[in-house]
A = this chain, B = another copy of it.
């Protein structure tokens, strides 16, 4: 798929009722797909004792090393209201450490424990299964990612420009 001349003139020609139906399908599709992914991960990650969101946080830590709550939040588009309790649970599970930064006492640096770092080895087997389970080709996955990225960006801007 090429990057289309996105301002489709068709859109304004479609009647409201039809759009309502289409809208149903689009937002529902995305909602459903996201939850289907979540459902798959719930099982795949059960052995590791991680939830889907906790897995995302661990991925960030495995890839980027120790960093502040704010940095993780920016990477995943999550705020402290979501991350604070999640990180506490990861801490109780013995996977991460939380300590106040010395340079800036406001910020808390999250670091992997040895146990958390070791978990990466076991997590390596997860994504291959997931990608296989999607039934999508590598090209489709990359295309999907591209379009979802644009979608997220555009919706984010639309909300900001409120």
Contact = CB atoms under 8 A, between A and B. Distances in A.
Interface in A135-154: 135-141, 143-145, 147-152, 154
Interface string A127-139: 1101111111111
A34 interface: yes
Contact of A133 (B20, B135, B145, B158): B158
A162 B56 contact: no
A29 interface: yes
A102 interface: no
Interface in A1-54: 1-2, 4-8, 10-11, 14, 16-17, 19-37, 39-41, 43, 52
17 contacts: A1-B143, A4-B136, A19-B127, A19-B131, A20-B124, A22-B141, A24-B59, A26-B144, A31-B34, A32-B148, A35-B77, A36-B77, A36-B159, A39-B156, A39-B159, A133-B158, A134-B155
Interface of A: 1-2, 4-8, 10-11, 14, 16-17, 19-37, 39-41, 43, 52, 56, 59-60, 62-63, 76-77, 120, 123-128, 130-141, 143-145, 147-152, 154-156, 158-159, 162
4 A-B pairs with the lowest CB-CB distances in the bound complex, closest first: A23-B127, A133-B158, A135-B154, A34-B34
